[in-house]
Amino acid sequence: MGLDLIPARLRQKYCFAERGHATAILAADFPEEFKDILACLESSVLRKSHILTPGKGRSPISITLDGFLNERGWQPKSFDIKITVDGQPIPIPTHKIDNFKNCVGLEVEWNNKTEFYDRDLNNFRLLKELKVLSVGVIITRVSELQNLFNPDYS
């Protein structure tokens, strides 16, 4: 249903999954942010050199995608959240969102381990419950691409 709002050319290039009608919410309530995300994906090219570049920090893929969004006003965002118990503030740690604009958060998790996805999903859940995030997006690679990373790939 909502995925039909994504142009067919992008649905052929990428694998999309959504929860809670996120695509429809993006398209209807956050049309500029939706356009930014689609344009970012449209302009993205997976280069062999990006795959072969060793880790250590952010990958060239993350740098490219984050840079594209940054040029359109997306910024990293940290949240200072506390609850008060008997007059004492208790901080609630959250992870910084790499790309945030108008209540939409987007993380690029290209080659991370499961615990990073869990961290991002939990962070999105908490921020949505606090009504500071309406939609969270994660861009990652499908597991089928792992063959490109294996040494015996030809």
> Domains (ranges, CATH) in the chain?
2-149 (3.40.91.20)
- Cα 77 to Cα 39, 80, 99: the distances in Å are 21, 10, 7
Distances 147 to 50, 57, 114, 143 between C-alpha atoms, Å: 15, 22, 18, 8
Q: What pLDDT does residue 55 have?
A: 60
- Tens-digit pLDDT profile for residues 3-60: 899 999 999 988 898 998 999 999 999 999 999 999 999 998 877 766 666 666 677 8
pLDDT at 74 over 80: yes
- Contact between 139 and 109 (Cβ < 8 Å): yes
pTM of the predicted structure, to 2 decimals? 0.84
Tokens read off for 131: 């009504």
**Tens-digit pLDDT profile for residues 116-146:** 778 888 889 999 999 999 999 998 876 666 6
Q: Which residue shows structure tokens 């949240």?
A: 79
Instruction: Tell me what pLDDT residue 152 has.
Output: 61
Mean pLDDT, the chain, whole residue set: 86
